[in-house]
A and B are shown apart, each in its own frame.
Chain A
């Protein structure tokens, strides 16, 4: 395996991990807004998860950017030039969301308004983030290599963008519902669990339909991608199988106790469902970062930089792993945290 392929595999892993955690993070913000004063405490549970974790998720987003600049500097050049407007908007909403989320814990009066602002930004950010996919498929960039511009008008009038957004949003809400269903069950709140389980049952098939439409409406400029996706169809078949098992597990009886569904099992299988599909999509996308001008080979960094980055990733991961473990114990497992009122 060449260095370029290793680097893009690491990038995919980061993107995949962020898309899962980001979905859960932004989705929890959305549910916290919707169930703000709900009798089941579903909103409170979403917030309990969000408070200690959003900073980490945000850090992961910065990691994505930094890793991309380090591994594929030429890619940073192209995407930095082209994505000025959409990424600036993402940054704008991200700042609003984080600030208002933190502020809402310090003031009493305006809490509801602040929840609403951070909740709505939490829907807008992922919609803008996923726009990078249709853009990278080609057809939305004009100009020569030294001065490229994004065809904003064409992008915003193209159905493929909105289908991607639809797919992204349904996935965000599906994943976060599943996560919060599991989190509610660990917190021993069966009422909130039922609520989130119900949302997941509704959203699951919607994500599938959205994915199907997104694939069907890939524009003719991106025919290359459709051909490549066909070659990778085994990953999508496996992904569909994972979905069906995960979805079915929402009706399996609970172990040892009365109750329906195995949210932890569903969540894990759903994550692997997205993992398999992402891998298939990534393989089909190779060797392009942005079609047709930029491949991973042209964009790659200096070899010595690549190797020193790899060493530092291993060292960094070794240092951080105990920290993540403690964190997980304290906020995702400790009953004293989960069952407070």
Chain B
């Protein structure tokens, strides 16, 4: 493997690992805020128990999210020194503001966890609100840098690479920033909600006391409503992001759809794979005119195909599959949340039935699936930009380190991520086994 591929694999692994914890770090605080609000409004102590237990889980996840985020942040300079040199000049602003969001989150997280018993209720709510705010702000600010890589703006560059006429705020608010940042935040909320729904559904699979069942049903219902709303909004925002691709990164959209010839009335290819030999999508379902309509709002919108661009700047063909997986998972989960809520309304609430096992099992899978959707989305976003690190400004090869020591370090970090993953699961299960809901309920209700 050459250094560039190794650097990509290394950084991709770090990011893929961090994203799990970062996404839950954005999603779960929102659920805690909602539970705290319901508790304060309704006075139902079950929600206070939920908030407390989720905070415990969140604190453990944060123990990995913070160091893994530190790793990613610093590895940017270690693995992509050429990239960070331009970043420092043009787009360091969001990075720096992100630090303040990070501080805000860390401050109020400590206050919420270690000083809750000394605070009046309204201040607990304020603290957990700031935790959630800091988390989502961090995600949005980091996305600003990523979107700038996709649609760079706010500077000029001479042929020799000298950068001049830098406008930091234009770089920040680059063309794809708002759309992508919104998508990132909403899908994180969606994933956090499905993660909670997964656990609640899993708990409902076993026989439990009426009190506990009611507790888990409350958690399930609350998370499903959030998950449904967020899935719906994320579908809309994903659609908007695709339109931005059409406008600003046409190669990426063409590769995502396996479209080679520029055309009006372009078809949407669902499924299948892009065959590199025949240069077409095989075994996919084609919906005529749909791509033109999705990209530009009219059937006669011209969509650029890959032949429009020099071959050496084509993204890899597998991004078609990644794109399909991301969209497919999103659609599936939206449908699932919708079905479960309908089932709830018509059969559970009105006819007093219980949820069938298969539906609960599908819900158990929803959290991990949603997380996979996030992973596919990020890999799509970053591989779809290849061969560029900064679109049409800097190639990935130019950005990468020339250091030859990557192999051993990569192995070391793979080991680290494996150990941390296993430990996180062990610690969470051990903790919640020793502190079951019944114990918390006894404490609260006496």
Contact = CB atoms under 8 A, between A and B. Distances in A.
Interface string B56-67: 100110111011
Interface string B151-194: 00001000000011011110000000000000000000000000
Contacts of B26: none
Interface of B is mostly: helix
B88 A308 contact: no
Given A84-B405, A309-B93, A320-B103, 17 more contacts: A52-B114, A55-B110, A62-B73, A65-B73, A66-B95, A70-B95, A73-B87, A80-B81, A84-B403, A99-B64, A99-B67, A103-B60, A302-B89, A305-B89, A305-B92, A305-B168, A336-B118
B92 A66 contact: yes
Interface of B: 56, 59-60, 62-64, 66-71, 73-75, 77-82, 84-90, 92-93, 95-100, 102-104, 106-111, 113-115, 118, 130, 155, 163-164, 166-169, 401-403, 405-406, 409, 412-413, 416, 420, 423, 427-428, 430-431, 434
Interface in A320-341: 320, 323-324, 326-327, 330-331, 334, 336-337
Contact of B92 (A106, A303, A309): A309
Interface size class, chain A: 35 or more
Contacts of B401: 80-81, 84
B166 A304 contact: yes
A302 B90 CA distance: 7
30 contacts: A58-B67, A65-B74, A65-B77, A66-B99, A69-B87, A71-B88, A79-B77, A80-B401, A81-B81, A81-B401, A84-B403, A88-B413, A91-B67, A94-B70, A94-B71, A95-B420, A99-B67, A99-B423, A102-B62, A103-B423, A302-B166, A305-B93, A309-B168, A312-B96, A312-B100, A316-B103, A324-B107, A330-B114, A331-B110, A331-B115
A255 interface: no
A53 interface: yes
A72 B168 contact: no
B90 A327 contact: no
B58 to A, nearest CB: 11
A88 B409 contact: yes
B82 A323 contact: no
B106 A330 contact: no
Given A72-B88, A79-B77, A99-B423, A327 B110 contact: yes
Interface in A120-165: 147, 149
A227 to B, nearest CB: 31
Contacts of B110: 51-53, 55-56, 327, 331
Task: State the 10 A-B residue pairs at the shortest beta-carbon distance, nearest first.
Answer: A73-B88, A102-B63, A70-B92, A80-B77, A52-B110, A80-B81, A95-B67, A302-B166, A316-B100, A55-B106
Contacts of A62: 69-70, 73-74, 99, 102
A73 B403 contact: no
Given A320-B100, A337-B118, A77 B84 contact: yes
Nearest to B91: A305
Contact of B427 (A88, A107, A147): A107
B128 to A, nearest CB: 14
B86 to A, nearest CB: 7
B70 A69 contact: no
B97 A81 contact: no
A305 B59 CA distance: 35
A85 interface: yes
Nearest to A95: B67
A84 B96 contact: no
A94 B67 contact: yes
A69 B431 CA distance: 40
A336 B115 CA distance: 10
A98 B68 CA distance: 10
B7 to A, nearest CB: 10
A101 interface: yes
A195 interface: no
Contacts of A59: 99, 102-103, 106
A55 B87 contact: no
Contact of A85 (B97, B114, B409): B409
